[in-house]
Amino acid sequence: MTSAPPLSANISPDLLRQQQLVEALCASGYFSHPPKIEETHISWVLLTGRDAYKIKKAVDLEFLDFSTIEARHFYCSEELRLNRRLAPDLYLDVVAIGGSPEQPVLGKKPAIEYAVHMRRFAQSNKMDRLLARGLITSAHIDKLAAVIANFHTALPPAAASSPFCVIAAIQTAALQNFAQLPQLLNELHDLAALGAVRVASELEYTACEPLFRQRADKGYVRECHGDLHLGNIVVLNDMPTPFDGIEFSISLRWIDVISEISFTVMDLLQRGRPQLAWRLLDKYLEITGDYQGCGVLRFYLAYRAMVRAKIAAIRAGQRGVAKARLELKNCRSYLRLAHDCLTRRRPALIITHGLPGCGKSTFAQIALERLGAIRIRSDVERKRLFGLAALADSKAQTDADIYSEDATRRTYARLHELARGVIAAGFPVIVDAAFLRHAERESFHTLAKELAVPFVIASLQTDAALLTERVALRSRQGSDASEADVSVLQKLQVVQEPLRDHERATAVTFINNGDVEALRSADEAWKMLDAHLV
């Protein structure tokens, strides 16, 4: 059994009574499984058997107030309400604790305290720990992206007149990090790095201010999780499950959805897994269609990194020498990442080229993870124009011909619009479409010249027999946004317009007759692609 924390004469009477209560609950025989206690600055969590009971401390801090039993009851109820949205199997109920601090009784009223009753899980299954052990797969990332995207999509937006949509609050939150960190850092080079990030952040805020306003007006501010780093996501039955969202601060959870996904992306970047970070963002954007959010992504990535830098600096001042050095190292890592997110702009425009089944989307997936790029898929955006989900059967769900000449023209116009926005945000963009006609390719080449960014045609080549086999298999499985069948492939083989001589100067050919790893390891082609992007 793990005993309760030692009692102290230097704490408030309410905290003293709470500690007595926790000690009594940990006494031998109260639970069939002797509890283990996890303590933070705001709560105790009693872990016993398959259950966990979280008791909020009677504290009044700058960012929360749990000082009264009424407040603790309210925030226990809020924690249950908010977290059951994403983890209903973990958050069971709010339990009253009656009796006395010396002889507490779970479930008895009148209540002298309240606890959030949760289903216990293994700490080793949290995503940060699994990632450290190399156990997080691409499939986990895809599932997590879907969980977050579907959660955000279902949330009602804040009214434009809401205090959560006041744009100045975004800058105020960011400036708090820069106001607090100088007192926590002593080295001149750390202070210089902090100053550089602050200048870059203020410039980015000014550039983003009109877009912040637009996004608030369009309903992108919603009641989110609020603290979506990898330590607050657990893998249960192979499904990433976010938990421990913010209940104590309305303003920290009523935020732009891009601020939320930025936290998870930033966490993966800081932990040295950029491929997973960009994969997560790609899947999230593909589901939500929120490519406009790329315009504020840099600001929010840096903001989230600065929040973690501040926390690391605070911890560095609280722990022993070894831990302090580690936390200071983490702080510097977050500072570098924040500066990199704000200042590293390398826009480029890459379009794919090839018949159905040649592997354009497979190439684009590999490329976006290698380059830190944003991918836009024609098959998905075409269906989105008609209000269809990516895997929807267009013939069964709409009377419109989504593959007509007019629909195709509208699709490429939408891809053009989205690509322009992503490039303006400073990111490389991959437009994943067939681009079988010269006019379609030339339109995007013109866009690249207008915006003065590198332009590449990634041409995917595959044996004709293999094309037919892949398309037939994909059509039978119905597991891809593309609805091209063998008859469509045959028509396109006849009408496609080969690359012209001047186009070949910007083209890189990828042969895709093998598996994904063969395409991934096509070193010469990737080197040529990289050279075009310099």
Q: What percent of the chain shows pLDDT beyond 70?
A: 97
More confident site: 221 or 27: 221
The pLDDT value given to residue 395 = 83
Is the confidence at residue 284, as pLDDT, over 60? yes
Q: Average pLDDT of 418-422? A: 98
The pLDDT value given to residue 413 = 98
85-119: per-residue pLDDT in tens? 999 999 999 999 999 999 999 999 999 999 999 99
Which residues make beta-bridge pairs with 241? 234
Element (H, E) at 46: strand 43-48
The pLDDT value given to residue 331 = 95
Is the confidence at residue 505, as pLDDT, over 80? yes
The pLDDT value given to residue 320 = 67
**385 contacts 489 by C-beta, under 8 angstroms:** no
The pLDDT value given to residue 141 = 98
Q: Average pLDDT of 201-219? A: 96
DSSP secondary structure, 151-171, as one string: HHHHSPBPPTTSGGG-THHHH
Q: What is the spatial distance between Cα 509 and Cα 504, in angstroms, rounded to a whole number?
A: 9
The pLDDT value given to residue 318 = 74
342-391: per-residue pLDDT in tens? 999 999 999 999 999 999 999 999 999 999 999 999 999 999 999 999 98
The pLDDT value given to residue 8 = 45
Question: Residues near 236 by Cβ (< 8 Å), separated by ≥ 6?
Answer: 89, 90, 121, 125
Q: Average pLDDT of 520-532? A: 95
> pLDDT grade, residue 516 (50/70/90)?
confident
More confident site: 481 or 241: 241
The CA-CA-CA angle for residues 496, 498, 501, to 5°, reads: 160
Is the confidence at residue 7, as pLDDT, over 60? no
Q: C-alpha distances in angstroms, 139 versus 235, 280, 391? A: 12, 10, 18
Question: Residues near 85 by Cβ (< 8 Å), separated by ≥ 6?
Answer: 151
The pLDDT value given to residue 319 = 66
Identify the CA nearest to 298 among candidates 374, 350, 238: 374
When mean pLDDT is compared across 68-77, 297-306, 477-486, the lowest value belongs to 477-486
**403 contacts 456 by C-beta, under 8 angstroms:** no
The pLDDT value given to residue 292 = 97
Is the confidence at residue 30, as pLDDT, over 90? no
121-176: per-residue pLDDT in tens? 999 999 999 999 999 999 999 999 999 999 999 999 999 999 999 999 999 989 88
Is the confidence at residue 417, as pLDDT, over 60? yes
224-260: per-residue pLDDT in tens? 999 999 999 999 999 999 999 999 999 999 999 999 9
